């Protein structure tokens, strides 16, 4: 894959793009397939989309893979999702190094299977000096859990309440060191955040689409990016 300059139609691109890739299950149901087949198709599309996004000067991409609420799904589906992520990481790690993509994990790592923890930790370490794009995988992630964990760390550090401001609080989140989300895309015709980056999306632009994630294409990403480039961001000002 060769990196190219963005097409001139984009007057502005987000520095930090977040995606809720929804619709794998419904995509599979429409085709008489299992939910795990849908998740497999979603993982394959995730690979395609990461490669495509890496052609643009977008520095940070965050993908929602597994929420803290997803543990309530059938055990077979949960185990399958864990294996899919492990396979995805093992498949892509050499290419991530080649393309200078840095991998970060957002979420509660210790609750995941040991083999998946090992794959995540190894890939994070191997790519830590890569600079082209940072890919954040939100896996066993919840926005409320992230805030609670940040508060717990602040309390453990015995930091005085009067010394806590937004900048300090940011440094205790999973996303420490990352800019806030500029654009959030959600596929699958759902109009909610689902507990995803609720602190970091306070002033994000949103793009919702009916397209199910396995069918989400370059054309659909370009549509979202074009919509973003035409918006005027005021951040509460005039």
Interatomic CA distance for residues 119 and 88, integer angstroms: 10
| DSSP symbols for 63-78 | EEEEETTGGGS-HHHH
**Residue labelled with tokens 């654009």:** 183
What the block records as the tokens of 63 is 């993908």
Exposure string for 184-215, b = 16+ CB within 10 A, e = fewer:
bbbbbeeeebebbbebbbeebbbbbbebbbbe
CB count, 10 Å around CB of 89?
Answer: 20
Catalytic residues: 22, 70
């Amino acid at each position: 894959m060769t990196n190219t300059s963005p097409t001139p139609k984009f007057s502005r691109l987000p520095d930090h793009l977040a995606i809720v890739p929804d619709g794998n299950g419904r995509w599979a149901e429409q085709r008489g397939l299992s939910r795990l087949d849908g998740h497999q198709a979603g993982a394959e599309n995730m690979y395609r989309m990461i490669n495509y996004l890496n052609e643009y000067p977008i520095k940070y991409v965050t993908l929602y893979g597994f929420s803290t609420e997803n543990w309530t799904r059938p055990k077979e589906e949960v185990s399958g999702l864990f294996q899919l992520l492990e396979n995805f990481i093992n498949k892509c790690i050499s290419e991530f190094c080649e393309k200078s993509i840095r991998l970060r994990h957002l979420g509660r790592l210790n609750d995941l299977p040991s083999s998946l923890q090992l794959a995540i930790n190894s890939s994070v370490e191997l790519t830590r000096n890569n600079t082209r794009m940072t890919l954040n995988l939100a896996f066993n992630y919840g926005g409320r859990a992230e805030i609670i964990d940040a508060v717990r760390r602040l309390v453990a550090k015995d930091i005085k309440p009067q010394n806590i401001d937004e900048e300090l609080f940011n440094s205790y989140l999973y996303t420490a060191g990352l800019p806030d989300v500029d654009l959030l895309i959600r596929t699958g015709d759902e109009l909610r955040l689902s507990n995803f980056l609720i602190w970091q999306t306070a002033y994000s632009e949103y793009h919702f689409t009916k397209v199910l994630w396995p069918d989400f294409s370059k054309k659909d990403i370009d549509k979202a990016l074009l919509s973003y480039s035409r918006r005027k961001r005021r951040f509460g000002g005039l």
